[in-house]
Structure 1
Amino acid sequence: MKVDILAIGAHPDDVELGCGGTIAKMISEGKTVAIIDLTKGELGTRGTDKTRKQEAADAAKILGISARENLEMKDGFLQNSEEYQMRIVKMIRKYQPEIVLANATDDRHPDHGKAAKLVSDACFLSGLKKIETALDGKNQEFWRPKHVFHFIQWKEIEPDFVIDISNFMEKKIEACMAYKTQFYNPESKEPVTPIATKDFLESLTYRAQNLGRLSGCTYAEGFTAEKMIALKNFEGIVL
């Protein structure tokens, strides 16, 4: 079950919105990716947890990820507790990713910042061999990802680096719009929320376009890093 990248979001759709283009690009380059949703998004104003589950499955097919799981934590009440940490530790040890992508460290929804710290702490704990875990009756090996990166969500956080997603912007939008109940639909009779407006939908493109403008490509997604990033050489930099 080992994957190269494990993307973890507080709610179904967080990963698609924050780093869907990056995931699509990495998969196109032969990397394996799995997604873990911490909650079912059951407190969302629009849709239900059942519709959200189907939408998450549809988005997973669009992106082409290897696996997707939901840990069914309590939406709106995420806590950096031992119980929740250990649930994530089991997933990290199951998938053994080199890189973990997690929620923004500070954001409009309180679950996002809480999830960022929760995942970060779980990544550290997962590397402690004296913490014993078992999954499906089998003991797990300890494992610590090499990097934890946080994608950017509602707030305009200055990224430590960006990924060029110029050829994958359409795929990102397609994956996001798989969440039909959540985003802009002029025919919907459900209440309008901040993410269900035309402006929010358009912001996915113009924010990625602005990061691209600043970094020398057409579209980009930004990330913050928990430690300094070292480049082996100058290859791969967009010039």
Structure 2
Amino acid sequence: MPKKILIVAAHPDDEVLGCFGTVAKLIKSGYEAYVLLLGEGKTSRDTNKENKKDELCTLNKEMKKAHDILGIKKSFVYNFADNRFDSINLLDIVKIVSKVKNEINPDIIFTHFENDLNIDHQITYKAVLTATRPMEDESVKEIYSFEILSSTEWNYPLSFSPDTFFDISDTLDLKLKAMKEYKSELRDYPHPRSLEGIELNAKYNGMRVGKKYVEAFKSVRAIK
């Protein structure tokens, strides 16, 4: 039976920015991968209901195309209000994470860093930890926090100190191809959330550990 990965992200495109190079690598080696997206996304801030509906429809189409590129087994999408996770009872978010986790029984979870600038990222991290308490029958044996360009590095003081590095030299192209599908979320360089920014970050992380392109993570828990 293949090992399973669950990506728990706050918004559409976070999953690509955070770990799609690594997940592509693991899928190639035989893992199954699933995605849980908790929030509406960055383009959902328009107060006009019709515009908001159109934006969410566009974002969902982009997400599906991006996930198809990697071969994501199944995507779970919820619509908690963007940048307002702190207005929602944490238990409600934990219940969603627990429900999806119990359906999949993943071995590995990739999720947000606890000290990102974005409040939704912080709360997603807390929900994951709460939903994966290390009980005897817990399926999740490894949890890793990823960085999100234009959130992790924009907080101050900087505190993301990665200790786990995945060489994505052979899969960066898939990550960039998936990100290209999120046309409504991409920005022009020198914005960090640009194709050039993503490649430069992978190159910088690679330089730190003697590889060409790398995704960096902070290990939260690893039971071996």
- Report the count of equivalent residues: 204
Match of 1:89 in 2: 98
Amino acid at match of 1:64: G
TM-score norm. by structure 2 comes to: 0.83
Maintained 8 Å contact 1:149/1:224: yes
User: Corresponding residue for 1:147?
Assistant: 142
Provide the C-alpha distance between the structure 2 equivalents of 1:213 and 1:83, rounded to a whole number of angstroms: 41
**Superimposed CA distance per residue, residues 144-180 of structure 1 (whole angstroms, 9 cap, x where no aligned partner):** 4111111111324221111000011111011111101
1:8 is matched with 8
Contact 2:65 2:181 in 1 (8 A): yes
2:72 is the counterpart of 1:72: no
Alpha carbons 1:40, 1:53 under 8 Å: kept: no
Q: Determine if contact 2:90/2:123 at 8 Å carries over to the other structure.
A: no
Alignment of 1:70-219 (within 5 A): 70-79=77-86, 81-124=90-133, 127=135, 143-154=138-149, 155-156=152-153, 157-183=160-186, 196-199=187-190, 200=192, 201=194, 202-219=196-213
8 Å CA contact 2:114–2:125 kept in 1: the answer is: yes
SS of corresponding position for 1:217: coil
CA RMSD of aligned residues (A): 2.3
Q: Is the 8 A contact 2:62 2:183 kept in 1?
A: yes
- Could you say which residue in structure 2 is the equivalent of 1:236? none
Distance 1:44 1:179, change over 3 A: farther
Whether 1:226 and 2:220 are equivalent positions in the alignment is yes
Change (3 A) 1:73 1:2: farther
Counterpart amino acid of residue 169 in structure 1: L
In the alignment, which residue of structure 2 is the partner of 1:187? none
Contact map agreement 2:16 2:178 (CA 8 A) in 1: yes
Distance 1:5 1:228 in 2: 14
SS of the aligned residue for 1:89 comes to helix
Measure the CA separation in 1 of the matches of 2:23 and 2:222: 22
User: Could you tell me the percent identity over the aligned residues?
Assistant: 28
Name the residue aligned to 1:234.
none
Aligned partners of 1:104 and 1:43: how far apart in 2? 23
> How do residues 26-45 of structure 1 correspond to structure 2 at under 5 angstroms?
26-41=26-41, 43-44=44-45
SS of equivalent residue, structure 1 residue 36: strand
Residue type of the alignment partner of 1:69 = F
Match of 1:59 in 2: 66
Shift in CA distance, 25/168, structure 1 to aligned 2, threshold 3 Å: same
Deviation track 1:40-76 (CA, whole Å, cap 9, x = no partner) reads: 2153579711111101100010111111111222221
